Homo-oligomer: A and B are copies of this chain.
Amino acid sequence: MFYTKIGKLALGSRLRMLSERVTEDAKNIYDLYDVELKPKWFPVFYSLSQNQEKSITAIAEEIGHSHPSVSKIVSEMCKAGITKEKKDKKDGRRNLIELTKKGMLIAHKIEDQYKDVNHAIELALDQTQHNLWKAIEEFEFLLEQKSLFRRVKEEKSKREREKVTIVAYDAKYHKAFKELNEEWIRTYFKIEVADSMALDNPKEYILDNGGHIFIALYNNEPVGACALLKNNTIISDFELAKMAVSPSAQGLGIGLLLANAAIDKARLEGAKEIYLESNTVLVPAIKLYQKLGFQKVSGFSTPYERCNIQMILKL
């Protein structure tokens, strides 16, 4: 069969087809019991047969349809003499719906059908290993917790993250290192003197002082960078800085990979703590630092105007 081959991408289509098939049979079943009810009326009808007098939106809420849908169904049912409308005296907007005598008669007549259908379907489902009714319930519950979209998105970034490699700095990445950083700095702030020094001469300013630079490659293209500075050992052993991820590669967790590479390196070199400076405007970055265990500190002097938060990670 086609749909077993095509895969889960067509789950929607498949569900729709099954629903159409079931509804088609439902039509004949109503005829069989001589019940003047369209299958699509049933949720509304059932809702009304429970209690008295409900407003259009209350019904819509309950059965999970849009209110125009209920509005249309109700007007059809009224025309068929199954329900009647009456204005709410206390609230002129509300249109209260209730079953007519005829409707209640149908509610009575439908009981046998209701029993038979339930029984027939249960009998069928008992023959299966995977109970469709329960499967729907479970699946709806899962979607409630996390939408299909989010699940796929996570799957996507998981797969793409695997294509990311973190490598040590090399002269050929100089341009990328500079541009990746300048991009975000310019977006939120302006390039400062300390920036230019580090970005124009990374070898001299960072590496030769005993620091490190990490580059994130995605399909062999540099899409992220970060640096571990050793300029200011008064505060900490290392300073984490120049963290940049290209907007096109954001959401893949590349920042985390870069930071982890830096932390691993610092630990390897016997560092006891890592310091960093940032700005609270960079929400995802701050969140990442917190997740990694960085704690807010204050009182250190900084060459950066944009710095409004300082953090330290104890290793």
Contacts and interface: CB of A to CB of B under 8 A. Distances in A.
Contact of A135 (B2, B63, B131, B149): B131
A120 B148 contact: yes
A132 B25 CA distance: 21
Interface string A1-26: 11110111111111111111111011
Nearest to A153: B32
Contacts of A7: 114, 117-118
Nearest to A112: B159
B138 A130 contact: yes
A112 B156 contact: yes
In this complex, the interface size class of chain A, counting residues with CB under 8 Å from chain B, is: 35 or more
B148 A43 contact: no
Contacts of A118: 7-9
Given A139-B18, A155-B120, A130 B131 contact: yes
A293 interface: no
A117 B2 contact: no
Interface in A15-45: 15-23, 25-26, 28-29, 32-33, 39-40, 42-43
Given A32-B156, A42-B9, A129-B134, A139 B119 contact: no
18 contacts: A2-B63, A8-B117, A8-B133, A11-B22, A12-B39, A15-B19, A18-B139, A32-B152, A115-B159, A117-B152, A119-B155, A120-B154, A121-B151, A123-B155, A128-B139, A130-B132, A131-B135, A134-B135
